[in-house]
Amino acid sequence: MQKFTLLDGLVVPLDRANVDTDAIIPKQFLKSIKRSGFGPNAFDEWRYLDHGEPGMDNSKRKINPDFVLNQPRYQGAQVLLARENFGCGSSREHAPWALEDYGFRAIIAPSFADIFFNNCFKNGLLPIRLDAEKVDALFKAVEASVGYKLKVDLEQQTITAPDGTVYKFEVEAFRKHCLMNGLDDIGLTLQHVGEIAAFEAKHRAAQPWLYA
């Protein structure tokens, strides 16, 4: 997994609540058995004017000029600014895969759906919860200023705006540790093989029907 420590990234505002994972990556792209290559189809139905299918040459498709990600000023954005309940719906990890492949490294929103939030951390993508009023202020600031960037410091758990305003954010210590060091969860868990085996033996004795 890609480490996350510091980011100084261009921000793109996606001004709608309840953005679901079907919108982030539509179902037809879920037929892939790979983990990569979803970026060109992130937000496919909003981003293009035609219907997208796997295997299409996306560079030849007609883009929707009204969709915010297509606006020239937001090209190369690494920070996605979003509204409430971002990533709701399906558990598809293809959603963070698509966002990460597109180039995003951090998402800022007042709230995230639980499974999506969790999936982000497994893919070097940092989801940051900020109060709705602060997010609202950021939306106004981004829209008002071309080239608006935010500095995200995971170690310090801060976001710094161009005007010097510093926003503190919370992140669970364990997730932070894994993300800062690009650690593989499975490798970490397998350090506790003995404890898992001991638990399993006890569990089997208590509920033998689970192992029948």
Partner 1 sequence: MGVQTLYDKLWNAHVVRQEADGTALIYIDRHLVHEVTSPQAFEGLKLAGRKLWRSASILAVADHNVPTKGRAQGIADPIARLQVETLDSNCAEYGVNEFKMNDVRQGIVHVIGPEQGATLPGMTVVCGDSHTSTHGAFAALAFGIGTSEVEHVMATQCLLMKKSKAMLVLVDGVLGRGVTAKDVALAVIGKIGTAGGTGCAIEFAGSAICALSMEGRMTLCNMAIEAGARAGMIAADDTTIDYLKDRPFAPQGELWDKAVAYWRTLHSDGGAQFDATIKLDAAQIRPQVTWGTSPEMVVAVDGRVPDPATMSDAVKREGAERALQYMGLKANTPITEINIDKVFIGSCTNARIEDMRAAAAVAKGKHVAPNVKLAMVVPGSGLVKQQAEQEGLDRIFVAAGFEWRDPGCSMCLAMNDDRLAPGERCAATSNRNFEGRQGQGGRTHLVSPEMAAAAAIAGHFVDVSTI
Query: Which spans of this chain sit near partner 1 (rule: CB under 8 A)?
Result: 15-18, 20, 22-23, 26-28, 30-35, 45, 51, 54-55, 83-85, 88-93, 96, 111-115, 118-119, 122-123, 172-175, 185-186, 188-190, 192, 195-196, 199-200, 203, 207-212
Q: Which residues pair with 159 in a beta bridge?
A: 152, 167
State the nearest-atom distance from the C-beta of 151 to partner 1, in Å: 25
- Residue pair 124/179 in contact by the 8 Å Cβ criterion: yes
How many CA atoms lie within 13 Å of 7's alpha carbon, on the beta-carbon side?
28
CA 83 to CA 81: how far, in whole Å? Answer: 7
Which C-beta is closer to partner 1: that of 65 or that of 208? 208
Tokens of 152: 């995200």
CA atoms within 13 A on the CB side of 11: 27
| For partner 1, the closer CB: 43 or 167 | 43
Q: What angle do CA 11, 143, 166 make, to 5 degrees?
A: 55
- 72 vs 191, beta carbon nearer partner 1: 191
Taking the least distance from each CB to partner 1, the nearer of 8 and 200 is 200
Sign of CA dihedral 120, 41, 105, 160: negative
Least distance to partner 1 from the beta carbon of 65, Å? 18
Q: Cβ of residue 76: shortest distance to partner 1, in angstroms?
A: 27
Tell me the closest approach of the beta carbon of residue 172 to partner 1, in angstroms. 6
- Closest CB 86 distance from partner 1, rounded Å: 10
Question: Smaller CB distance to partner 1: residue 3 or 27?
Answer: 27
CA distance 204 to 42: 44
Whole-angstrom Cα distance, residue 50 to residue 177?
Answer: 42
For residue 135, what is the enclosing H or E element? helix 132-144
Q: Which is nearer to partner 1, 65 or 194 (CB)?
A: 194
